[in-house]
Amino acid sequence: MILLPLVMAALAFALPSNRWRPWLLPVTSLAHGALVAWALAHPALLTQSSWLVLDPPGRLVLVLVSVLFCASAFYTVDYLRRRAEHPNSVFCVCFLTFLSMMTLVTWSHHLGLMWVAVEATTLVSAPLIYFDRTHNSIEATWKYLLVCSIGIALALMGSFFLAYASLHAGLDSSLTFENLLENAPALSRPWLYAAFVLSLVGYGTKMGLAPVHIWLPDAHSEAPSPVSALLSGALLNCAFLAILRIYHICIATGEGTFTSGPLIGIGLFSMAVAGLFMFCQRDFKRMLAYSSIEHMGILALGLGIGAPALFGTLLHILNSGLTKGVLFLSAGNIYHAYHSKSTDVVRGALRRVPLSGALFLTGFLAITGSPPFGPFISEFSILNAAFGASHYWAAGLFLFFLFLIFIGMGILVLKVVQGHPSEAVQSSSYRDGGLTCVPPLLLMALVLLLGLYIPAPLDTLIRDAVNFLEVTP
């Protein structure tokens, strides 16, 4: 799974044809998906190394990465065809390597390897953000590189502190999660606390949690739509997986109370920031970026609530990730129809690109927690757990921020889809097509399915992850 995209990236670099090179992306996505399915069907093969272990939380995120990459890969074929004026060699190489590094994050069971994998995702995705080569895209790329590099440096310091927590307690230093979990009760508490805070801030920067989210609105807004879909739906959840692993070690030490406060606080603060900034947006892709910050905040909140909310939190990884794929891909179609992301220009999307406009509107309803879509189930589960765990003030603020965000997003989305497009826009040649509409349509079908019924294999996968996080050595 890790090597296949790298081999295909080398092939993409060697292939001279700009026309045929993009087809390597969907071919790789299908092969990667087949390998993921095969691996999940043979769990005994997933723990052959202490550094590379596909544990239950990793499996869940890997499934999301593979599905989102497949949808984005097919979409990208048509996207690059319409951008024929740009050479796509670097784009395809980085796109495939991005898949490899995100896969490595899900497999990493060593603090150092996980850090390298997360940092590598930054380096290989930066050229993707810069694909349009505009002033705004270069600014977004540099901001992404600088802010995430500072964050990942703090995460590295957290890894060192976690390793020293073993040394300070008189244990052998180890960076593998199995050894850290086994020795968790004996870890030095002050060094463990410092490690958790640094890891939360460091990986939280990559995850897009406020107030260290400042790279995210620019990067998501300026990146090509399939890249934005992967950044929002897959990469942010890979960063959350890194936090989840550190959280697991803290829980194994019996320090769940210490982790709860910071996670709930930063989760609610992220939702508040997202809600406030949505009201002043006219760029609909930037609005979706703030929605990503909101949902990373929901994941942090759910993790802070603890065991009662774990199922809903892990389910929300899938629900929010898939829905973000729908929104960013359909937003890309609307952008191509209008050649603008501003609501000053974009009006009447339901008339101009009916299918993409309908997907954008439906995706808005789903991502804001409206029934019968998947996010409603996971958000309701987290809310119910908050009340059950007596976090009444957190539950109240959660509901308030959800309402605030629904209003803020709704105002902008309705401006985009309602009304009449101008005559100049109607005369442009862009129309909804199969490769650009079928991927978000299939993702939307999955989001609806998860709101009506959770398939038994997926339910088992989530419950295995919950049990893995709750049961300590």
Domain chopping of the chain, boundaries:
3-470
Residue 471 in this model has a pLDDT that exceeds 70: no
* pLDDT value at residue 13: 93
* pLDDT, average across residues 19-39: 94
Element (H, E) at 330: helix 310-338
- Name the token pair of 40: 């999940």
The C-alpha atoms of residue 305 and residue 323 are separated, in whole angstroms, by: 24
The contacts of residue 165 (CB under 8 Å, 6+ apart) are 187, 188, 191, 192, 195
User: Does the predicted model carry a pTM greater than 0.75?
Assistant: yes
Say which residue, 428 or 464, is predicted with more confidence.
Answer: 464
pLDDT band at 163 (very low <50, low <70, confident <90, very high): confident
pLDDT band at 363 (very low <50, low <70, confident <90, very high): very high
DSSP 8-state assignment for residue 429: S
pLDDT band at 255 (very low <50, low <70, confident <90, very high): confident
* pLDDT, average across residues 26-34: 96
With CA atoms as reference, report the closest residue to 244 among 464, 469, 472: 469
Residues pairing with 283 in the sheet = 342
Radius of gyration of the chain measured on its C-alpha atoms: 21
pLDDT band at 362 (very low <50, low <70, confident <90, very high): very high
Q: Give the tens place of pLDDT for each residue, 377-414.
A: 999 999 999 999 999 999 999 999 999 999 999 999 99
Residue 472 in this model has a pLDDT that exceeds 60: no
Residue 426 in this model has a pLDDT that exceeds 80: no
CA distances from 57 to 69, 131, 291, 456, 467 (A): 18, 32, 23, 17, 10
* pLDDT value at residue 473: 44
pLDDT band at 47 (very low <50, low <70, confident <90, very high): low
What is the phi-psi region of residue 51: left when phi exceeds 0, alpha when psi lies from -120 to 50, beta otherwise? alpha
Least confident of 209-213, 253-257, 303-307: 253-257
Q: Assess whether the previous peptide bond of 439 is cis (omega < 30° from 0).
A: no
